[in-house]
Structure 1
Amino acid sequence: MMSVSPVNLINFSNPLQSSSQSVAAAQSSFSDALKNAVGTVNQSVQSADNMVTGLANGTSNEDLHNVMIAMQKADIMLKTAVQVRDRVISAYQNVMNMQV
Structure 2
Amino acid sequence: MALSPLSPRASKSSTDPGQSEQVRTDEAQNSFGNMLNEALQNVQNHQDASKEKTEQLLTGEVDNLHDVFIASEKAGVALQATVEVRDKVIDAYDSVMRMTL
TM normalised by structure 1 equals 0.81
Provide the residue aligned with 1:90 in structure 2. 91
Distance 1:25 1:12, change over 3 A: closer
What is residue 78 of structure 2 aligned with on the other side?
A: 77
Q: Check whether the contact 2:14–2:20 (CA below 8 A) recurs between aligned residues.
A: no
Which residue of 1 is the match for residue 47 of structure 2?
45
Q: Could you say which residue in structure 2 is the equivalent of 1:17?
A: 19
TM-superposed CA distance for 1:73, in Å, is 1.0
Q: 2:58 aligns with which of 56, 59, 62?
A: 56
Structure 1 residue ranges without an equivalent (≥5):
1-10
Unaligned runs of 5+ in 2: 1-12
Which contiguous aligned blocks of 4+ residues in structure 1 show a shift greater than 3 angstroms? none
2 CA distance for matches of 1:62 and 1:55? 7
- SS at 1:74 equivalent: helix
RMSD between superposed Cα atoms in Å? 1.5
Flag the structure with larger Rg.
Answer: 1
User: Would the aligned equivalents of 1:41 and 1:74 in 2 still touch at CA under 8 Å?
Assistant: yes
Equivalences for 1:25-40 in 2 at 5 Å?
Answer: 25-40=27-42
